[in-house]
Structure formats: C-alpha cells, structure tokens
Amino acid sequence: MNITFLGGTGTVTGSKYFIETNTTKILVDCGLYQGYKWLRARNREPLPLDLKSLDAIVLSHAHLDHSGFIPVLYKQGFRGAIYTHPATISLCSILLPDSGHIQEDDANFYKKHKISKHENPEPLYDKETAEACLSLFQAVEFNKAFRIGDIDLVLQSAGHILGAASVILEADGKRVGFSGDVGRPDDIIMYPPKPLPPLDLLLLESTYGNRLHDKEDAYEQLAEIVNSTAKLGGVLLIPSFAVGRTEAVQHMLATLLKRDLIPKLPIYLDSPMAINVFNIYCQHFELNRLSKKQCQDMCNIVAFTKTVDESKALSDLIMPHIIIAGSGMATGGRILHHLKRLIGDYRTTVLFTGYLSGGTRGAKILAGKDNVKIHGKWWPVKARVEVLNGLSGHGDYEDITKWLQSSKLHPKTKIRLVHGEPEASEAMRDHLMQHTKFEVEVANYHEILRL
C-alpha cells in the first residue's frame, strides 16, 4: 500500500491523503486550501492522480479544509462514492453549497469592482456543482465495517464536531489510522474522541502541537468580555465557525444569562448557515452533550437574521448588542460587512472563537495589525480584539498525548504528523518523542510512504 500526502502538510488546510493498493485507489479527505495566497493557489492546480481510476473518497468530517475540494473533483468528472457519517452528510449539504455560493459572490464582487488581477475571476465551483456532488455521498455509521475494493474500513468518533471521525483502514496486512481532527476531552458540546485500536501507522493532526489551551474558564472570559463591551456601549462581534463553535457560544451565552452573569443584550445570529446547522445539532442528541431543553434555551436567546435586509438593518441599532456571524476566520461571509463598519470603533470587541489559520484576515486582526484589508480597502483597527481559546474544537498537545496513551497503539506504531503549521508539527514531534515510545516524523507535501 502507498500513501501520498496531497495536502494537510505544513498547513491545517487542504487535507488529502491518497491510498493505493494493487487494485484500489481512494482519497481520505478532500479539503480546500485556505489562508495564505500561495496555499490557495494550490486549489487551482490539478491533483497528480487519474480521477477515472479513483474508486472512492472517505471523508472524516464536514469542515471545508477536509471536504471543500470535493466539488472541484466532481466538476472534473469524479463520480465515485463518498463514504462518511450521516451527520457529516447533513452538514455537508449545508456547508458545500454555501462554499460554492460564497465563491460565486466573491468572484462577482471582484468582477464588479474590478479589483481582481484576473480579467474574468472565476469561482472554483458554484453552488449548483456543490449541490450536485451531494448525490455521491453514502452514509456509514460509526464502528460499522465497510469495504472499498480490497480495503477494509471503519469510522470511529473523534469528538471535534458532529459526525467527525477517525478513519481506520486495513489492506495488504497493514492497519493505518487517520486521526482526522481530534476533539477535546472536555469540549462544551462534543464527547471525547474514542481511543484508537492497534495500528502500524497513524496520520495524526497537530494543529495545537505547540500550544496549550488557556486554562482560564471560558465562561468567565466570555462574561467579562460581554460585560465590559456593554459598559462601553459597544457591539460584541463574534466571527464564528457555523459548525460547532457557534453552537458552543450560543450555549455559553444562554448559560451566562440563566445565571444572571451578563446583561440581557439583544443577540443576533446573523448566519443562515449557522441557523441550519443549529437544527442539525438539535436533531442529533445522541452524538453530543446537549439536551433538548438546552437546545430550546439556546434558540430562545437569539434573534435569527435570515435575509440580507435583516442583516443590513443591524447597522441601525444604537444600543449595545451581540452579533454572531460567519465566517470564523473572517475570510468571507456577513461578518465582513459588520467588521467594516465597527472595527474602527474603540467600543467594539471582536471575539474570535477558534483556531485562525496563518494568512487569514482573522489571524492578521488577532496579530494586532493597525489596518485590515476588506473588500479591497484598508480599514483601521481600533476595536478590542480577543480570542476565546477555551472554545477550540481541537485537543492541544497534552490532550492528544493522553489520547494516544489511552489508545491501544503499540510502541512500534509509526506516526506521521499532518494538519499543522510547520512550527506546530515540529513542536508536537519533539513532545511526542520525549513523552511516548512512538517513531514520529512530520509528513511532507507530495511525500509517498510505502507500507
């Protein structure tokens, strides 16, 4: 069996691992590159494989950095099956068309305002293509074995977000695990990731390979931010990831309100996508920690702004309020319009809720840049900028080390680190070499492993 690393190396985006046996070829994950321009340019390059001979895709979870390239392959003619958890199918049916829609919008905006270097900026794919590729998805429950050609597979829960899985496959007498994105043992909404079985090789994510989550209580931090922003008479802007983090923020705000720890400010969920995702979370109680009552409370505290006009009307509000809008890294979506009008006001707080990939607008704002470019113009940053680290959907390096130690891996298991920026993966390797017996290396782009 050969494994080729076609993405998720040296970056947390573009996850794609190509597995070949004598008779079968599959991709595990098919993610979009995001962040730095040189990384995004890879989305326009053809994959070094013959799509006609690709049998199937196995998808770990719905986030676009794992799923967002599927419509590109569909556009190029791929018609094989895409195996994934049913909740991931539900989430992809929202996320992928939305991704197509955002790309069409961006291309139109750049065309209209003539701010692209390209004469005729084209979206990578449109909404229609993203909707069409959903017909290829096939549901596989956790812990149910399935087979593609001569490869045996099973998905097991990885925490992180609804439906997120680690992928375990067996072929040619070897067993390989793909961690996927690994959640936290104490996530506000998701259950802890399931420990791994014995493996010959593990491709392990390393997003937080060089950082530990703030031990500060996330509820206390959020309460302080809401209270001080309200005192200033400002707006709390929360750029939020529609899947997972938005639900966690909503749940935390509902809890704080119930305990009377924050004032009753108007809260707007300005993201049609997050509204749909919220409904999916509430349909899957068995997969998360939320109860029906908690879902109702979360629903009751927010006003949903579905239409563009409702969203625009938020600019008329003068009293302190909270706006939760996508996207989480401020790379697109409605949050951009709110940032443009509010980031130059010292009374505003911008609160990020998770990992910000290098090169994204969110990462630049958090790094303390004086000005930020939105829609081709520079805007001064005067707002307070914070990040709610306690809300990340990824385990930090200590969480992951404990997860590995609770697994059934034997000391001879080889680990290849993926899904991390270079300094994070390097630090994770050093940590694991000191605290475990595994042979650990950082995977390289286009590297081929032969098992």
Could you tell me the smallest distance in angstroms from the CB atom of residue 85 to Zn ion? 13
Could you tell me the smallest distance in angstroms from the CB atom of residue 164 to Zn ion? 7
Count residues contacting Zn ion (CB under 5 A)?
A: 2
Q: Which of residues 137-156 bind Zn ion (CB under 5 A)?
A: none
Identify which range of 35-43, 58-66, 348-356, 395-403 contacts Zn ion by CB under 5 A.
Answer: 58-66
Q: For Zn ion, which is the closer residue by CB, 93 or 227?
A: 93
Could you tell me the smallest distance in angstroms from the CB atom of residue 393 to Zn ion? 6
Identify which range of 12-20, 39-47, 175-183, 296-304 contacts Zn ion by CB under 5 A.
Answer: 175-183
Q: For Zn ion, which is the closer residue by CB, 181 or 297?
A: 181
Could you tell me the smallest distance in angstroms from the CB atom of residue 205 to Zn ion? 9
Could you tell me the smallest distance in angstroms from the CB atom of residue 355 to Zn ion? 9
> C-alpha 6: how far from its chain's center?
18
Question: Closest Cα to residue 157, out of 188, 192, 201, 133?
Answer: 192
Could you tell me the smallest distance in angstroms from the CB atom of residue 160 to Zn ion? 6
Q: For Zn ion, which is the closer residue by CB, 63 or 334?
A: 63
Q: For Zn ion, which is the closer residue by CB, 95 or 336?
A: 95
SS3 387: strand
Q: For Zn ion, which is the closer residue by CB, 35 or 234?
A: 35
Segment 118-123 long-range contacts (CB within 8 Å, at least 24 positions apart): none
SS3 35: coil
Identify which range of 45-53, 174-182, 307-315, 412-420 contacts Zn ion by CB under 5 A.
Answer: 174-182
Could you tell me the smallest distance in angstroms from the CB atom of residue 322 to Zn ion? 25
Could you tell me the smallest distance in angstroms from the CB atom of residue 356 to Zn ion? 14
What is the helix (H) or strand (E) element at residue 162, kind and residue range?
none
Q: How far apart are CA 403 and CA 185, in angstroms?
A: 9
Q: Which of residues 269-308 bind Zn ion (CB under 5 A)?
A: none
> C-alpha 424: how far from its chain's center?
17
Q: For Zn ion, which is the closer residue by CB, 159 or 332?
A: 159
Q: For Zn ion, which is the closer residue by CB, 57 or 323?
A: 57
Could you tell me the smallest distance in angstroms from the CB atom of residue 306 to Zn ion? 26
Could you tell me the smallest distance in angstroms from the CB atom of residue 36 to Zn ion? 19
Identify which range of 63-71, 188-196, 268-276, 431-439 contacts Zn ion by CB under 5 A.
Answer: 63-71
Identify which range of 167-175, 176-184, 204-212, 404-412 contacts Zn ion by CB under 5 A.
Answer: 176-184
Q: How far apart are CA 163 and CA 316, in angstroms?
A: 39
Identify which range of 77-85, 173-181, 272-280, 294-302 contacts Zn ion by CB under 5 A.
Answer: 173-181
63 binds Zn ion (CB under 5 A): yes
- Compose the 11-50 pattern: x for residues touching Zn ion by CB under 5 A, - for all others: ----------------------------------------
Q: For Zn ion, which is the closer residue by CB, 100 or 183?
A: 183
Q: For Zn ion, which is the closer residue by CB, 16 or 63?
A: 63
Q: For Zn ion, which is the closer residue by CB, 181 or 396?
A: 181
Q: For Zn ion, which is the closer residue by CB, 67 or 413?
A: 67
- Compose the 177-196 pattern: x for residues touching Zn ion by CB under 5 A, - for all others: ----x---------------
Could you tell me the smallest distance in angstroms from the CB atom of residue 280 to Zn ion? 15
Q: How far apart are CA 184 and CA 281, in angstroms?
A: 18
Q: Which residues bind Zn ion (CB under 5 A)?
A: 63, 181
